[in-house]
A and B are shown apart, each in its own frame.
Chain A
Amino acid sequence: MMRPTDLTIAQALDALDRREVSAVELATAFLDAIERLNPRLNAYITVTAEQALETAKASDARRAKGEAGKLDGIPLGIKDLFCTEGTRTTAGSNILDGFVPPYESTVSANLKRDGAVFLGKLNLDEFAMGSSNQTSAFGPVENPWSRANDPAKRLVPGGSSGGSAAAVAARLAMGATATDTGGSIRQPAAFCGIAGIKPTYGRCSRWGIVAFASSLDQAGPVARTVEDNAILLASMAGFDPRDSTSADLPVPDFRAAVGRGVKGLRIGVPEEYRIPGMAPEIEALWQQGLDWLRAEGAEIVPISLPHTKYALPTYYVVAPAEASSNLARYDGVRYGLREDGRDLKDLYERTRARGFGAEVRRRVMIGTYVLSAGYYDAYYLKAQKVRALIRRDFEQAWEKVDAIVTPATPSAAFAMDEKQDDPVTMYLNDVFTVTANLAGLPGLAVPAGLDAQGLPLGLQVIGRAFDEETVFAVGGAIERAAGFAAKPGIMA
């Protein structure tokens, strides 16, 4: 029998079924690993050990009675952006100081319904605004991988779901929830050598997830394999009347799609994703991925997504605008931090200045400016129009192809002291991922190789709206061909 922390979710479900392992044994193994490695990695903000052991015990009792759910006994971490009833929820910010939600997010409630065991709440960039997990008020997360020629250099796990990706890569959780507004699932998954999917906008309910940019935010899983992602997404997804943007569609059998193969599929390769200065290793890996798919019977088709270069600046108007509006609720009155002031306005201003970190303040300022009188048309309306063109680029591509394959990130994980010169340098991390958010499409990051320093690199599969099945099929084929078996230096 493998060590419990090495099992994939699919393997663990089989082992639980065969009574080779119990949910309590799984939870205990992961809690031990967290106790040992979390002080270094800082992936968890809150560990709910007692609660995890209690729910694991209840899970074992359900299984003994033949009443086990789809995920019964699987130990997961929850990104600390999902409200969890009775457990502190921080969004990585000081402004939610002391906040204990009196309700459970729909996505985490769905996982609980299916029997999952929650180990704790995972670190993230403040309000999910960042690509390195360094904007968290609870300190940065360390990537469990390191460079072969400089193992002492501490690398970032990516962001904003840096705690989720680092925890799964280091075997401090079997899988985790994450969210993706511009690449926050796929970029950290790629940096940490694991898989992660942002489903179609509307596939997972946003109810109970701390809002960043509501027209872009989507929840999704991260896990070590594509199949594990399919298993988790099947539980997380589904119609929720409490989110007016939730899609009233049945949840397909994602897991069955993973092994479907790519024979006859047309795979698009967008010319505009060949950006200047891209690492030759990434370009080579991309070509390798396409060769693998061709060998499996797919047809490779060059396509054009002409507005790609405008996607990031569009995002940096739309997302801050929505954020400035969403974050208006943090005023020191109803929950979280309060800084006393001489009057109500002074109280608001002091609370928000003290509670928000530098990156959140910058984005609230940009968002407020682009929505303000006299600038709305030039910035916000313009960005919404360019967004429509980006969506149209994809609609035209779907006439020729069934899925699109690109690199997941323009580089491997960078060091904690790199890319700090100016905010825009950090924003460029999301160049390959942000288009799927703007167009509302599903995108999967799958580990596909290593760079010369032994760091993981990922490929991205983008699909049609609500066609995650094809995305899983292509991702599954890449995963099988890549045979990615490398492990990070820091691991339970």
Chain B
Amino acid sequence: MSLDAATVRRVANLARLRLEDQEVGKLQAELNGILGWIEQLQQVDTDGVEPMAGGSPGGAALRWRGDAVTDGGQAAKVLANAPDRAGDWFAVPKVVE
């Protein structure tokens, strides 16, 4: 599978990465180089193999925790790094006209 320029733009849009026109060609070539190399995975017979999700070497399921409030009431800390804020909220450009 090889990516065309339109697909590169579509993926950049999904990833919310602004892409200038002059960047598309180089990125397209790099991504196709990487994907072409990854293509060798198709040679492996994986029929009937359960996919390994997560990193646990024994395949252990994740532990559940109690459904209880353990933290909170820290608005000042949560907002301390905000690039822009209004009162106790993060501020962003107007979303709804």
B40 / chain A contacts, CB cutoff of 8 Å: 309-310, 313
Query: Which of the 9-residue segments A113-121, A125-133, A163-171, A334-342 touches chain B?
Result: A334-342
Interface string of A357-376 (1 = CB under 8 A from B): 00001101110110010010
CB A387 to nearest CB in B, in angstroms, measures 4
Interface string of B34-53 (1 = CB under 8 A from A): 11011011101010011111
Query: Which of the 9-residue segments A241-249, A276-284, A481-489 touches chain B?
Result: A241-249
User: Size range of the interface on A?
Assistant: 35 or more
B12 / chain A contacts, CB cutoff of 8 Å: 365
B78 / chain A contacts, CB cutoff of 8 Å: 102
B15-74 CB contacts (< 8 Å) to partner A: 15-19, 27, 30-31, 33-35, 37-38, 40-42, 44, 46, 49-59, 62-63, 65, 74
Query: Could you tell me the distance between the alpha carbons of A439 and B84 in the complex, rounded to whole angstroms?
Result: 42
Query: Could you tell me the distance between the alpha carbons of A337 and B35 in the complex, rounded to whole angstroms?
Result: 30
CB A153 to nearest CB in B, in angstroms, measures 27
Tell whether A286 is near chain B: CB-to-CB under 8 Å.
no
B84 / chain A contacts, CB cutoff of 8 Å: 338
Are the CB atoms of A349 and B44 closer together than 8 Å?
no
Query: Could you tell me the distance between the alpha carbons of A345 and B81 in the complex, rounded to whole angstroms?
Result: 21
Are the CB atoms of A336 and B81 closer together than 8 Å?
yes
Are the CB atoms of B57 and A440 closer together than 8 Å?
yes
Interface string of A72-112 (1 = CB under 8 A from B): 00000000000000000000000000111011000000000
The one of B7, B30, B58, B63 that contacts A422, using a Cβ cutoff of 8 Å: B30
Are the CB atoms of B15 and A389 closer together than 8 Å?
no
B59 / chain A contacts, CB cutoff of 8 Å: 391
The one of B74, B81, B93 that contacts A347, using a Cβ cutoff of 8 Å: B93
Are the CB atoms of B63 and A248 closer together than 8 Å?
yes
B94 / chain A contacts, CB cutoff of 8 Å: 343
A366 / chain B contacts, CB cutoff of 8 Å: 31, 34-35
Query: Could you tell me the distance between the alpha carbons of A343 and B82 in the complex, rounded to whole angstroms?
Result: 18
Nearest CB to that of B39 among chain A residues? A313
Are the CB atoms of A353 and B57 closer together than 8 Å?
no
Are the CB atoms of B95 and A335 closer together than 8 Å?
no
B7 / chain A contacts, CB cutoff of 8 Å: 369
Tell whether B6 is near chain A: CB-to-CB under 8 Å.
no
Nearest CB to that of B3 among chain A residues? A369
Query: Which of the 9-residue segments A34-42, A44-52, A219-227, A377-385 touches chain B?
Result: A377-385
B55 / chain A contacts, CB cutoff of 8 Å: 201-202, 214-217, 245, 437, 440
Query: Could you tell me the distance between the alpha carbons of A461 and B88 in the complex, rounded to whole angstroms?
Result: 51
Q: How many A-B residue pairs have CB under 8 A?
A: 172
Are the CB atoms of A341 and B93 closer together than 8 Å?
yes
- With A317-B38, A388-B51, A389-B46 in contact, do A372 and B11 touch (Cβ < 8 Å)? yes
B53 / chain A contacts, CB cutoff of 8 Å: 215, 384
CB A214 to nearest CB in B, in angstroms, measures 7
Nearest CB to that of B14 among chain A residues? A368
Are the CB atoms of A335 and B65 closer together than 8 Å?
no
B49 / chain A contacts, CB cutoff of 8 Å: 385, 388-389
CB B64 to nearest CB in A, in angstroms, measures 8
A201 / chain B contacts, CB cutoff of 8 Å: 55-57
Are the CB atoms of A313 and B38 closer together than 8 Å?
yes
Are the CB atoms of B81 and A353 closer together than 8 Å?
no
Are the CB atoms of A385 and B17 closer together than 8 Å?
no
Among B38, B62, B81, the most chain A Cβ lie within 10 Å of the Cβ of B38
CB B92 to nearest CB in A, in angstroms, measures 5
A202 / chain B contacts, CB cutoff of 8 Å: 55-57
Are the CB atoms of A356 and B46 closer together than 8 Å?
no
Interface string of A239-280 (1 = CB under 8 A from B): 001001100100000000000000000000000000000000
- With A202-B56, A215-B53 in contact, do A349 and B16 touch (Cβ < 8 Å)? yes
A155-173 CB contacts (< 8 Å) to partner B: none
CB A487 to nearest CB in B, in angstroms, measures 36
B3 / chain A contacts, CB cutoff of 8 Å: 369
Tell whether B86 is near chain A: CB-to-CB under 8 Å.
no
Are the CB atoms of A365 and B11 closer together than 8 Å?
yes
Query: Could you tell me the distance between the alpha carbons of A293 and B44 in the complex, rounded to whole angstroms?
Result: 35
Tell whether A314 is near chain B: CB-to-CB under 8 Å.
yes
Among A244, A331, A441, A465, the most chain B Cβ lie within 10 Å of the Cβ of A244
A372 / chain B contacts, CB cutoff of 8 Å: 11, 14
Interface string of A181-202 (1 = CB under 8 A from B): 0000000000000000000111
Nearest CB to that of B49 among chain A residues? A385
Tell whether A307 is near chain B: CB-to-CB under 8 Å.
yes
- With A248-B63, A343-B93 in contact, do A313 and B54 touch (Cβ < 8 Å)? no
CB<8 Å pairs between A and B, sample of 11: A201-B56, A328-B16, A332-B83, A333-B90, A335-B82, A343-B95, A365-B11, A365-B15, A365-B31, A375-B1, A391-B59
The 5 closest A-B pairs by CB, nearest first: A440-B57, A384-B51, A335-B81, A465-B57, A338-B83
Which A residues are closer than 8 A to B by beta carbons? 98-100, 102-103, 200-202, 214-217, 241, 244-245, 248, 307, 309-310, 313-314, 316-317, 324, 328, 331-338, 340-350, 352-353, 356, 361-362, 364-366, 368-369, 372, 375, 378-379, 381-389, 391, 422-424, 437, 439-441, 465-466
Given A215-B53, A314-B41, list of 7 further CB < 8 A pairs?
Answer: A313-B40, A335-B82, A362-B30, A362-B34, A369-B3, A385-B49, A424-B34
